[in-house]
Amino acid sequence: MSDCIFCRIVRGEIPASTVYEDEEILAFNDINPLRPVHVLVIPKKHITSLSTAGVDDTLVLGRILAKANEIACSQGSADGFRVIINTGRVGQQEVPHLHAHIVGGTDPVGPMLKRI
Ligand code: AMP
Ligand code: ZN
């Protein structure tokens, strides 16, 4: 999607603080971090949200989760983290390109993020 902000990051048109990249996914620091470790992991291919993802996206969705621990550890969250995928209007998703928030640090996440 030409005007999607995260597609533009994938294409290098907007700078991002990349922490991990392979052929399928890109991980970069959130521009407005809510915790000491706050990384967004996205598929390089545009998928709007979990509402529009399908079985064809199984591999890339699995890759995002399978790489989460490695990414979290590399950023200083070796003792656990939370993975949050806000989806659609009810999920209050702001950027319409699927992304997993990896949030953590050295201390347990606080009540603002421990919503469930
Ligand atoms: P969500 O509410 O789940 O859609 O979260 C969108 C996230 O994207 C927010 O935490 C924003 O801070 C983050 N964000 C928006 N633009 C950028 C950007 N250019 N680089 C890094 N993070 C961004
Ligand atoms: Zn996109």
Could you read off the pLDDT of 14-70 as tens digits, one per residue? 999 999 999 999 999 999 999 999 999 999 999 999 999 999 999 999 999 999 999
For the chain, the first-to-last Cα distance in angstroms comes to 33
Residue among 38, 97, 99, 101 flagged as catalytic: 99
Known active-site residue 99? yes
Q: Which structure tokens are listed for 41?
A: 């992991």
Task: Give the C-alpha separation, 3 to 46, whole Å.
Answer: 11
Q: Given a cut of 70, is residue 115 above it in pLDDT? A: no
Q: Which domains does the chain have, with CATH numbers?
A: 5-100 (3.30.428.10)
Q: Which ligand is nearest to the CA of 8?
A: 2
Instruction: Report the pLDDT value the prediction gives residue 113, as an integer from 0 to 100.
Output: 63
With the most atoms of ligand 1 within 8 angstroms of its CB, the residue from 3, 26, 30, 38 to mutate is 30
